[in-house]
Amino acid sequence: MTNSSKYTQQIKSESKRLGFDYVGISKADFLEEEAPRLENWLNNNMHGQMSYMENHFDKRLDPRLLVPGAKSVVSLLLNYFPSEEQTDKSAPKISKYAYGKDYHDVIKEKLNLLLEFIKQNIGEVDGRVFVDSAPVLDKAWAKKSGLGWIGKNTNLINKSSGSFYFIAELIIDLELEYDGAIKDYCGTCTKCIDACPTDAIIAPYVVDGSKCISYFTIELKENIPNEVKGKMDNWSFGCDVCQDVCPWNSFSKPHSEPHFQANTELLGMKKDDWYELTEETFKRVFNGSAVKRTKFSGLTRNLEFIKT
Protein backbone atom coordinates (compact mmCIF):
# COMPACT_ATOMS: atom_id res chain seq x y z
CA MET A 1 0.00 0.00 0.00
CA THR A 2 1.37 3.42 -0.96
CA ASN A 3 1.57 6.22 1.60
CA SER A 4 -1.11 8.24 -0.19
CA SER A 5 -3.43 5.23 -0.13
CA LYS A 6 -2.78 4.63 3.58
CA TYR A 7 -3.27 8.32 4.46
CA THR A 8 -6.50 8.43 2.42
CA GLN A 9 -7.92 5.46 4.33
CA GLN A 10 -6.94 7.00 7.67
CA ILE A 11 -8.55 10.35 6.83
CA LYS A 12 -11.76 8.76 5.53
CA SER A 13 -12.04 6.48 8.53
CA GLU A 14 -11.50 9.32 11.03
CA SER A 15 -14.02 11.53 9.17
CA LYS A 16 -16.69 8.86 9.62
CA ARG A 17 -15.73 8.43 13.28
CA LEU A 18 -16.24 12.18 13.78
CA GLY A 19 -19.77 11.83 12.42
CA PHE A 20 -19.45 12.94 8.79
CA ASP A 21 -21.74 10.91 6.52
CA TYR A 22 -19.71 11.06 3.32
CA VAL A 23 -16.15 12.01 2.45
CA GLY A 24 -14.55 12.39 -0.97
CA ILE A 25 -11.19 13.73 -2.10
CA SER A 26 -10.09 15.64 -5.18
CA LYS A 27 -6.86 17.12 -6.47
CA ALA A 28 -6.37 20.76 -5.46
CA ASP A 29 -6.38 22.34 -8.89
CA PHE A 30 -7.88 25.25 -10.81
CA LEU A 31 -11.66 24.83 -11.31
CA GLU A 32 -11.61 25.35 -15.04
CA GLU A 33 -15.25 24.38 -15.66
CA GLU A 34 -16.52 26.73 -12.94
CA ALA A 35 -14.60 29.86 -13.98
CA PRO A 36 -16.80 31.01 -16.91
CA ARG A 37 -19.96 29.96 -15.03
CA LEU A 38 -19.08 32.04 -11.96
CA GLU A 39 -18.03 35.02 -14.09
CA ASN A 40 -21.29 34.92 -16.04
CA TRP A 41 -23.37 34.59 -12.84
CA LEU A 42 -21.67 37.64 -11.31
CA ASN A 43 -21.84 39.68 -14.53
CA ASN A 44 -25.60 39.10 -14.63
CA ASN A 45 -25.93 40.33 -11.02
CA MET A 46 -27.47 37.06 -9.88
CA HIS A 47 -25.74 37.56 -6.53
CA GLY A 48 -27.94 40.60 -5.79
CA GLN A 49 -26.52 42.50 -2.81
CA MET A 50 -24.21 39.62 -1.80
CA SER A 51 -21.21 41.75 -2.77
CA TYR A 52 -18.85 39.36 -0.94
CA MET A 53 -19.41 36.94 -3.85
CA GLU A 54 -17.41 39.33 -6.06
CA ASN A 55 -14.40 39.24 -3.74
CA HIS A 56 -11.48 36.83 -4.11
CA PHE A 57 -12.58 35.61 -7.56
CA ASP A 58 -9.24 33.85 -8.15
CA LYS A 59 -9.24 32.21 -4.72
CA ARG A 60 -12.70 30.79 -5.32
CA LEU A 61 -11.35 28.95 -8.33
CA ASP A 62 -7.91 27.88 -7.09
CA PRO A 63 -7.48 26.35 -3.59
CA ARG A 64 -3.69 26.73 -3.88
CA LEU A 65 -4.21 30.47 -3.37
CA LEU A 66 -5.93 29.73 -0.05
CA VAL A 67 -3.43 27.12 1.13
CA PRO A 68 0.03 27.50 -0.44
CA GLY A 69 1.24 24.16 -1.76
CA ALA A 70 -2.22 22.59 -1.46
CA LYS A 71 -2.44 19.11 -2.99
CA SER A 72 -5.84 17.81 -1.88
CA VAL A 73 -9.36 19.04 -1.17
CA VAL A 74 -11.18 16.77 1.29
CA SER A 75 -14.95 17.32 0.91
CA LEU A 76 -17.29 16.21 3.67
CA LEU A 77 -21.08 15.98 3.99
CA LEU A 78 -23.02 16.14 7.23
CA ASN A 79 -26.73 15.27 7.18
CA TYR A 80 -29.19 17.70 8.79
CA PHE A 81 -32.52 16.15 7.75
CA PRO A 82 -34.74 16.32 10.87
CA SER A 83 -36.91 13.57 12.35
CA GLU A 84 -39.60 16.15 13.27
CA GLU A 85 -40.91 19.30 11.65
CA GLN A 86 -42.84 22.35 12.84
CA THR A 87 -46.18 21.18 14.24
CA ASP A 88 -48.43 24.09 13.20
CA LYS A 89 -48.66 23.85 9.40
CA SER A 90 -50.09 27.39 9.22
CA ALA A 91 -47.15 28.90 11.16
CA PRO A 92 -44.34 30.80 9.40
CA LYS A 93 -41.66 28.32 8.29
CA ILE A 94 -37.93 28.23 8.81
CA SER A 95 -35.49 26.16 6.82
CA LYS A 96 -34.72 22.71 8.28
CA TYR A 97 -31.01 23.47 8.48
CA ALA A 98 -31.72 26.08 11.19
CA TYR A 99 -33.69 23.81 13.55
CA GLY A 100 -30.71 23.06 15.79
CA LYS A 101 -27.36 24.60 16.71
CA ASP A 102 -25.56 26.76 14.13
CA TYR A 103 -23.84 24.33 11.75
CA HIS A 104 -20.78 26.59 11.38
CA ASP A 105 -19.81 25.97 15.01
CA VAL A 106 -20.62 22.24 14.99
CA ILE A 107 -18.76 21.45 11.77
CA LYS A 108 -15.76 23.69 12.41
CA GLU A 109 -15.09 21.82 15.65
CA LYS A 110 -15.21 18.45 13.83
CA LEU A 111 -12.92 19.74 11.06
CA ASN A 112 -10.37 21.06 13.52
CA LEU A 113 -10.33 17.65 15.22
CA LEU A 114 -9.79 16.02 11.82
CA LEU A 115 -6.89 18.35 10.99
CA GLU A 116 -5.40 17.68 14.42
CA PHE A 117 -5.71 13.92 13.81
CA ILE A 118 -3.87 14.28 10.47
CA LYS A 119 -1.02 16.21 12.10
CA GLN A 120 -0.69 13.72 14.94
CA ASN A 121 -0.95 10.55 12.85
CA ILE A 122 0.52 11.51 9.49
CA GLY A 123 2.97 14.31 10.22
CA GLU A 124 3.64 17.97 9.52
CA VAL A 125 0.69 18.77 7.27
CA ASP A 126 -0.41 22.32 6.54
CA GLY A 127 -4.06 23.01 5.85
CA ARG A 128 -7.18 25.03 6.52
CA VAL A 129 -10.77 24.13 7.33
CA PHE A 130 -13.73 25.72 5.57
CA VAL A 131 -17.44 25.79 6.42
CA ASP A 132 -19.40 28.01 4.08
CA SER A 133 -17.64 31.18 5.26
CA ALA A 134 -14.69 31.59 2.90
CA PRO A 135 -14.23 31.85 -0.87
CA VAL A 136 -14.55 28.11 -1.58
CA LEU A 137 -16.96 26.67 -4.16
CA ASP A 138 -18.00 23.83 -1.89
CA LYS A 139 -20.57 22.23 -4.21
CA ALA A 140 -18.09 22.14 -7.08
CA TRP A 141 -15.51 20.35 -4.92
CA ALA A 142 -18.07 17.90 -3.51
CA LYS A 143 -19.15 17.09 -7.07
CA LYS A 144 -15.54 16.67 -8.22
CA SER A 145 -14.90 14.21 -5.39
CA GLY A 146 -17.88 12.03 -6.29
CA LEU A 147 -20.20 12.90 -3.38
CA GLY A 148 -23.06 13.69 -5.73
CA TRP A 149 -24.03 15.71 -8.78
CA ILE A 150 -25.26 19.30 -9.01
CA GLY A 151 -29.02 19.22 -9.53
CA LYS A 152 -31.15 21.57 -11.60
CA ASN A 153 -31.77 23.55 -8.37
CA THR A 154 -27.93 23.88 -8.09
CA ASN A 155 -27.86 21.82 -4.87
CA LEU A 156 -25.54 18.87 -4.50
CA ILE A 157 -27.59 15.66 -4.66
CA ASN A 158 -26.28 12.40 -3.23
CA LYS A 159 -27.73 9.34 -4.96
CA SER A 160 -28.23 7.42 -1.70
CA SER A 161 -29.51 10.19 0.55
CA GLY A 162 -30.62 13.30 -1.31
CA SER A 163 -29.53 16.89 -0.64
CA PHE A 164 -30.20 17.81 3.00
CA TYR A 165 -26.48 18.07 3.76
CA PHE A 166 -24.01 20.65 4.93
CA ILE A 167 -20.82 20.68 2.86
CA ALA A 168 -17.39 21.38 4.36
CA GLU A 169 -13.78 21.18 3.19
CA LEU A 170 -10.31 20.57 4.43
CA ILE A 171 -7.63 21.85 2.04
CA ILE A 172 -4.23 20.32 2.79
CA ASP A 173 -0.74 20.11 1.31
CA LEU A 174 -0.79 16.30 1.37
CA GLU A 175 -0.95 14.05 -1.70
CA LEU A 176 -3.88 11.62 -1.40
CA GLU A 177 -5.85 9.23 -3.60
CA TYR A 178 -8.50 11.10 -5.55
CA ASP A 179 -12.11 10.14 -6.20
CA GLY A 180 -13.86 10.88 -9.49
CA ALA A 181 -17.11 12.66 -10.29
CA ILE A 182 -20.33 10.71 -10.86
CA LYS A 183 -22.97 11.26 -13.55
CA ASP A 184 -26.01 13.54 -13.30
CA TYR A 185 -29.20 11.65 -12.41
CA CYS A 186 -31.73 14.50 -12.72
CA GLY A 187 -32.91 13.21 -16.10
CA THR A 188 -35.94 15.04 -17.50
CA CYS A 189 -37.33 15.97 -14.05
CA THR A 190 -38.18 19.66 -13.57
CA LYS A 191 -40.01 19.49 -10.22
CA CYS A 192 -37.70 21.99 -8.51
CA ILE A 193 -38.03 24.50 -11.37
CA ASP A 194 -41.82 24.15 -11.47
CA ALA A 195 -42.22 24.47 -7.68
CA CYS A 196 -40.01 27.51 -6.97
CA PRO A 197 -42.43 30.16 -5.62
CA THR A 198 -40.42 33.12 -6.96
CA ASP A 199 -39.15 31.53 -10.21
CA ALA A 200 -35.58 31.85 -8.98
CA ILE A 201 -34.45 28.76 -10.96
CA ILE A 202 -34.37 30.64 -14.24
CA ALA A 203 -33.07 27.67 -16.25
CA PRO A 204 -31.93 24.13 -15.42
CA TYR A 205 -28.77 24.45 -13.27
CA VAL A 206 -29.06 28.26 -13.01
CA VAL A 207 -30.42 29.98 -9.90
CA ASP A 208 -30.78 33.74 -9.83
CA GLY A 209 -29.77 34.25 -6.21
CA SER A 210 -31.36 37.70 -6.14
CA LYS A 211 -34.82 36.10 -6.66
CA CYS A 212 -34.46 33.35 -4.06
CA ILE A 213 -36.57 33.34 -0.87
CA SER A 214 -33.45 32.48 1.15
CA TYR A 215 -31.83 35.62 -0.22
CA PHE A 216 -34.83 37.81 0.64
CA THR A 217 -35.15 36.45 4.19
CA ILE A 218 -31.46 36.21 5.15
CA GLU A 219 -29.09 38.13 2.87
CA LEU A 220 -31.14 41.16 1.86
CA LYS A 221 -30.76 43.95 4.39
CA GLU A 222 -33.28 46.34 2.80
CA ASN A 223 -37.03 45.91 2.48
CA ILE A 224 -38.18 42.83 0.59
CA PRO A 225 -39.39 43.96 -2.88
CA ASN A 226 -43.17 44.29 -3.23
CA GLU A 227 -43.24 42.24 -6.43
CA VAL A 228 -42.71 39.05 -4.38
CA LYS A 229 -45.57 39.84 -1.99
CA GLY A 230 -47.78 36.77 -1.82
CA LYS A 231 -45.08 34.54 -3.35
CA MET A 232 -43.04 33.76 -0.22
CA ASP A 233 -44.93 30.53 0.58
CA ASN A 234 -44.93 31.48 4.31
CA TRP A 235 -41.13 31.23 4.68
CA SER A 236 -39.71 33.52 7.37
CA PHE A 237 -36.10 32.24 7.27
CA GLY A 238 -34.62 30.38 4.33
CA CYS A 239 -36.59 28.10 2.00
CA ASP A 240 -36.65 24.33 1.37
CA VAL A 241 -39.14 24.14 -1.51
CA CYS A 242 -36.74 23.00 -4.24
CA GLN A 243 -35.37 20.31 -1.92
CA ASP A 244 -38.74 19.21 -0.53
CA VAL A 245 -40.07 18.44 -4.02
CA CYS A 246 -36.91 16.68 -5.25
CA PRO A 247 -37.61 12.94 -5.74
CA TRP A 248 -34.10 12.09 -4.54
CA ASN A 249 -35.01 13.44 -1.10
CA SER A 250 -37.46 10.58 -0.65
CA PHE A 251 -34.26 8.75 0.38
CA SER A 252 -33.43 11.28 3.13
CA LYS A 253 -32.96 9.72 6.56
CA PRO A 254 -32.99 11.65 9.87
CA HIS A 255 -29.56 12.84 11.02
CA SER A 256 -27.81 11.48 14.12
CA GLU A 257 -26.01 14.68 15.18
CA PRO A 258 -27.14 15.67 18.73
CA HIS A 259 -26.31 19.36 18.09
CA PHE A 260 -28.82 19.46 15.22
CA GLN A 261 -31.66 18.22 17.40
CA ALA A 262 -34.54 20.62 16.87
CA ASN A 263 -35.44 23.03 19.62
CA THR A 264 -38.81 21.69 20.85
CA GLU A 265 -40.04 25.19 21.72
CA LEU A 266 -39.35 26.28 18.15
CA LEU A 267 -41.16 23.28 16.61
CA GLY A 268 -44.16 23.83 18.86
CA MET A 269 -44.62 27.54 18.09
CA LYS A 270 -48.09 28.32 16.80
CA LYS A 271 -48.80 30.93 14.13
CA ASP A 272 -49.78 33.51 16.78
CA ASP A 273 -46.57 32.84 18.76
CA TRP A 274 -44.54 33.92 15.74
CA TYR A 275 -46.44 37.16 15.30
CA GLU A 276 -46.26 37.95 19.03
CA LEU A 277 -42.51 37.21 19.15
CA THR A 278 -40.55 39.42 21.54
CA GLU A 279 -36.82 40.04 21.45
CA GLU A 280 -36.48 38.12 24.72
CA THR A 281 -38.22 35.04 23.25
CA PHE A 282 -36.17 35.38 20.05
CA LYS A 283 -32.92 35.27 22.06
CA ARG A 284 -34.08 32.23 24.02
CA VAL A 285 -35.54 30.18 21.17
CA PHE A 286 -32.78 30.96 18.67
CA ASN A 287 -29.85 30.93 21.07
CA GLY A 288 -26.94 29.29 19.21
CA SER A 289 -29.05 28.93 16.04
CA ALA A 290 -28.25 30.07 12.48
CA VAL A 291 -31.41 32.25 12.69
CA LYS A 292 -29.33 34.74 14.77
CA ARG A 293 -27.87 35.81 11.45
CA THR A 294 -30.99 37.67 10.44
CA LYS A 295 -31.30 39.25 13.93
CA PHE A 296 -34.61 39.97 15.66
CA SER A 297 -35.22 43.00 13.42
CA GLY A 298 -34.68 40.95 10.25
CA LEU A 299 -36.95 38.12 11.36
CA THR A 300 -39.76 40.50 12.35
CA ARG A 301 -39.39 42.29 8.99
CA ASN A 302 -39.81 38.91 7.26
CA LEU A 303 -42.80 37.99 9.41
CA GLU A 304 -44.49 41.31 8.69
CA PHE A 305 -43.94 40.83 4.96
CA ILE A 306 -45.49 37.33 4.79
CA LYS A 307 -48.35 38.14 7.19
CA THR A 308 -51.77 37.36 5.73
Three-state secondary structure of the chain: CCHHHHHHHHHHHHHHHCCCCEEEEEECCCCCCHHHHHHHHHHCCCCCCCHHHHCCHHHHHCHHHCCCCCCEEEEEEEECCCCCCCCCCCCCEECHHHCCCCHHHHHHHHHHHHHHHHHHHCCCCCEEEECCCCCCCHHHHHHHCCCCEECCCCCEEECCCECCEEEEEEEECCCCCCCCCCCCCCCCCCHHHHHCCCCCEEECCEECHHHCHHHHHHHCCCCCCHHHCCCCCCEEECCCHHHHCCHHHHHCCCCCCHHHCCCHHHHHCCHHHHHCCCHHHHHHHCCCCHHHHHHHHHHHHHHHHHCC
**133 confidence band (pLDDT: 50, 70, 90):** confident
pLDDT at 157 over 80: yes
> Which position among 29, 88, 126, 132 bears the catalytic label?
132
Note the pLDDT of residue 52.
Answer: 67
Higher pLDDT, 3 or 38: 3
pLDDT at 300 over 90: yes
What global pTM score does this model have? 0.94
**51 confidence band (pLDDT: 50, 70, 90):** low
Note the pLDDT of residue 42.
Answer: 77
Note the pLDDT of residue 54.
Answer: 67
Note the pLDDT of residue 65.
Answer: 92
For this structure, is 233 an active site residue?
Answer: no
